[in-house]
Chain A
Amino acid sequence: MSAGLDIAVRGTVRTPSGGLRARLGGAARSASLWVVAGIVVLVTAIVTVLMQGREATRPLHYDSTQADGGRAVIEVLSAQGRDVATTESLAEARTAAAGGGTLLVFAGEGVLAEEVPGQLMAEAEAADTDVVLIAPGATVGAWTDAIETDLLGGAGTQTRRAPECEASAPRTAGAVSARAGESDLYASGSVAGDVVFCYPGTGGGAFDEDVFDHGLYAVEDRGGMSLTVLGTAEWMQNETLANEGHMSLVAGSVAGDGPLTYYYPEAGDQPGADEAAGGVWSLRLFPDWALAGLLWLLPLALAAMLVYGRRMGPLAVEPLPVVVPAAETVLGRSALLQRSRARATAIRDLRTAALVRLGRRLALGPDAPAEEVAARAAAAAGLDPAWTQSVLLTAPVPDDAALVRLSADITSIEREVDPL
């Protein structure tokens, strides 16, 4: 039957599509609906990313609009007419330190490399640049020898503090608040300096009354320039900037005529960062475009897997018939004989089969005794009758070597016997 006629008679098969109800249910489950939803979500995500640009979320970062971000303070300072620059680059920070004005450094979190504070201070002293540190904690010792953290003072439980000092910015700002645990007290260091401490601890320290001069806020006057330490990041954070006198305190600390540079250090930009990231094989050795290309290999590999891994339909099914391997039982029996070293059984079977064949070949009846068959075979083949007798009937089989030898001898006797 031709295919055309077949179609005319039987029609065609189609992908089954159910009734109205099935179709309504199908619409909800339809892949198209979810695909459209997926497209909408993706477009929204892309637009959001493009609109926002690079969003920073690190604490006190100058671009971060989070509660603990630092964008508000930069905006307010700019709005007040201050010339504010921001940077993540150490090189730019050093330029700023050597250029006069004020350098505001986010010194927390142990990001700065060991030698950086010393270098920055040296350049700032040379150029009379004021330096303001935000929450340096224990690393304050790297900036100056005149101030160090006061571990014994005790921050106390009270959050609201009065300035209790003569420095101008705290006096203008008045009371501030500082949460315990997120703020450090500072005290005089190993070298005596012209340091003023403000916002002292509120009790609970190692001593009944404050023996040392200490506080959350410290200003060291170094002649041409000053080093200011802000004991807590809370004063600058977006959320708490407007509380108490925080804004006033920050503005007062960074006051000055020159430009203000806010340096937010980045771990990857520090000297020695390459070694820390894995020596000479660091990915930093690659240019950025090469890294981006390498990264794009991931979606490329994924796409390749999808393209070449997707099968064209399920595997074709083949109903396989049962096949028992050839001579399975015979092989099993021979293995059993060998394992149990049943040499006697084995040689008996070999001899019997040979005698039956020889008897038939020599035209002896089925009742002929084995001795007669052996004797006639020896005569027909011209072999030693005693030896033939021993091979075909009597020789013992003490070991496997004897079995092999005897079975080969049986074969050669059979071969020698001419039927005629």
Chain B
Amino acid sequence: MAPTWRFLALTALAGVPSLLRPHWTTLAVMAGFLLIAALADWLAAPHPAGLGLQRTPGPRIRLGEATHAVLTLRNEGRRTLRLSVRDAWAPSAGAAPRGPGGTRFGARLRPGESHEHRVELTPTRRGLLRADRVTVRSRSLLGLVARQRSIEVPAAITVLPPFHSRRHLQSKLRRMRELEGRTAVMLKGAGTEFDSLREYVRGDDVRSIDWRATARARELMVRTYRPERDRRVIIVLDSSRLAARRVGEGTAFDAAIESGLLLAGLAAGSGDRVEVLAADARVRAHVGPLGRQAPLDSLMRRIAPIFPELLEPDWEEITSTVLRLTSQRSLVVFVTALDAPTIAEDLLPALPLLARRHTVALASVADPALEEMREGRYSTTQAYRAAAAERELLEAQSLGHALSALGVHSVHESPENLPPALADLYIALKTSGRM
């Protein structure tokens, strides 16, 4: 039961007789008439049960792009419906409340008629964007009091991570191809895997001359190499409480996703088999192996709904999962936020076992706020903050040293710089044949 502004206007009008004949009976009678009018009008309003609804979600998008959803109303009853409708979406869907493309609209449907309403959505958060209920107000011709119903019409749109680091993907892939020798450059043949023989040209490393082939061909022949292919890359995204930390614009997990996507795209494009794990106290997603064709679509779709939770990461569980995945020597990349005590106490003991069988790299998100805190030293509070920030940075540094001592490669960068830095580490490992 929802009174409309017309009911308010009628209430104002019903005050006039009591001005003309000021007596409490007039007031009581007019109030009674008003109530009767409201109740009778409510009875006269058609029940919204005769309304059929369906939502057609629009296309999947990356965060920052616009999408839409179409709500279809069909009058399946026998009476004309006069409706006000609210097509509710969560606030982060970024739908305007009113106007064309807004969540609220009116419709007049004769029996059998349909109405389509398109809601423009600009989501402000990655993940699975679920539609809320559709609320329908049905009023009579007079329209004093409407019947209101909220109906569950399920629909969801996947909002993929923004993948800002995709702008690096092409340049990194090009470098990879140059190193593979598929493009015409002088630098053909870095890497350790034998590719082909060709004639010696001035400038080639004399150590790569293949003397047997030279003898056969009677010309100076050199071996060319290319980076190894079909290696495994296992990317572990830490979704624990460490990743829930706000770093710059988003959380550490957002930066981890960006880095993971770039690395996965690069590795899959270079012919490696990529598997991605998102894990905290348990493994929350396992995607892969990713193919060469459109490798990132399914990955993004699976990663999009995952948000970090306030759980302690179980590094033993994670390492044993990784060990179970493959016995082939692979590159295992942990992407996490560096919390020196936690990493030192929990991750470091679990690493040697892993490092013996695989190449391990640790990519961690640095907090740019620490740099700012380090700079300001003009008051007592600032001085103490600078000291605490320096301490944190020193610990991160010494942790980096400890990791190198274990033979673990590490990258510690701010959220914007982490994806390209991790990609560079991959390229460096790949070309030096250390994978």
Q: Which residues of A contact B (CB under 8 A)?
A: 1-4, 6-7, 10-15, 17, 31-32, 35-36, 38-39, 42-43, 45-46, 49-50, 53-54, 287-289, 291-293, 295-296, 299-300, 303-304, 306-307, 310, 312-314, 316-319, 321-331, 333-335, 337-338, 345-347, 349-350, 352-353, 356, 400-401, 403-404, 407-408, 411
Contact = CB atoms under 8 A, between A and B. Distances in A.
Contact of B377 (A293, A304, A307, A408): A408
Contacts of B72: 3-4, 6-7, 12
Interface string B30-71: 111111100110110000110111101000000000000010
Contact of A11 (B12, B54, B375): B54
Contacts of B134: 313
Contacts of B35: 38, 42
Contacts, number: 258
Given A293-B19, A312-B104, A404-B380, A15 B369 contact: no
Nearest to A346: B387
Nearest to A297: B15
A183 to B, nearest CB: 35
Given A35-B39, A289-B20, A324-B241, A310 B310 contact: no
Nearest to A1: B56
Contacts of A356: 394, 397
A49 B23 CA distance: 12
A347 B39 CA distance: 77
A289 B51 CA distance: 47
A401 B380 CA distance: 7
B133 A314 contact: yes
B373 A330 contact: yes
A350 B387 contact: yes
B6 to A, nearest CB: 9
Given A14-B52, A289-B20, A411-B377, A327 B369 contact: yes
B3 A303 contact: yes
A1 B58 CA distance: 8
Contacts of B380: 338, 400-401, 403-404
Interface in B125-146: 125, 127, 132-135, 137
Contacts of B294: none
Nearest to A353: B390
Contacts of A350: 383, 386-387, 390
B99 interface: no
B116 interface: yes
Interface in B350-374: 367, 369-370, 373-374
A292 B5 CA distance: 23
Interface of B: 1-5, 7-8, 11-12, 14-15, 18-20, 22-23, 25-36, 39-40, 42-43, 48-49, 51-54, 56, 70, 72, 74, 76, 84, 86, 88-92, 104, 114, 116, 125, 127, 132-135, 137, 148-153, 241, 244-248, 251, 307-310, 339, 367, 369-370, 373-375, 377-394, 397
Nearest to B5: A307
A312 B49 contact: no
B18 A296 contact: yes
A331 B326 CA distance: 42
Contacts of A407: 377, 383, 386-387
A323 B244 contact: yes
B99 to A, nearest CB: 16
A327 B32 contact: no
Contact of A12 (B19, B74, B152): B74
3 nearest A-B residue pairs (beta carbon): A313-B135, A12-B52, A346-B387
B11 A300 contact: yes
Given A6-B56, A313-B86, A337-B384, A330 B394 contact: no
B19 A289 contact: yes
A333 B76 CA distance: 65
B383 A313 contact: no
B3 A404 contact: no
B300 to A, nearest CB: 17
A43 B392 CA distance: 78
A299 B34 contact: yes
B95 to A, nearest CB: 9
Given A292-B26, A350-B387, A322 B39 contact: no
B381 A338 contact: yes
29 contacts: A7-B72, A12-B72, A17-B49, A39-B40, A46-B29, A49-B29, A289-B20, A289-B22, A292-B27, A300-B8, A306-B7, A307-B3, A310-B148, A312-B2, A312-B86, A314-B135, A317-B132, A321-B308, A323-B246, A324-B251, A327-B389, A330-B373, A334-B387, A335-B384, A349-B388, A352-B394, A353-B394, A403-B383, A407-B386
A329 B53 contact: no
B43 A35 contact: yes
B134 to A, nearest CB: 8
A350 B247 CA distance: 23
Contacts of B14: 296, 299
B388 A316 contact: no
Nearest to A345: B387
Nearest to A38: B39
A316 B74 CA distance: 23
B370 to A, nearest CB: 6
Given A307-B7, A307-B8, A356-B397, A322 B384 contact: no
Contacts of A403: 380, 383-384
Which residue of A1, A334, A408 has the most chain B CB atoms within 10 A of its CB atom?
A334
Contact of A322 (B310, B385, B388): B310
Contacts of B390: 349-350, 352-353
Contacts of A39: 36, 39-40
B90 A326 contact: no
A299 B251 contact: no
Nearest to B389: A330
A10 B70 CA distance: 14
Contact of B36 (A7, A42, A324): A42
B91 A316 contact: yes
A327 B90 CA distance: 29
Given A35-B39, A45-B32, A352-B394, A327 B386 contact: no
A356 B149 CA distance: 68
B384 to A, nearest CB: 4
A323 B386 contact: no
A15 B91 contact: no
Contacts of B34: 299
A404 B56 contact: no
B307 A321 contact: yes
Nearest to A54: B25
Contact of B246 (A38, A317, A324, A331): A324
A11 B114 CA distance: 12
Contact of B88 (A7, A287, A316): A316
B15 A330 contact: no
Nearest to A328: B245
A318 B94 CA distance: 12
Given A14-B52, A35-B42, A326-B247, 19 more contacts: A4-B116, A13-B54, A13-B152, A39-B36, A289-B20, A313-B134, A321-B308, A322-B310, A329-B339, A329-B392, A330-B370, A330-B389, A337-B387, A349-B387, A349-B394, A350-B387, A404-B378, A407-B386, A408-B378
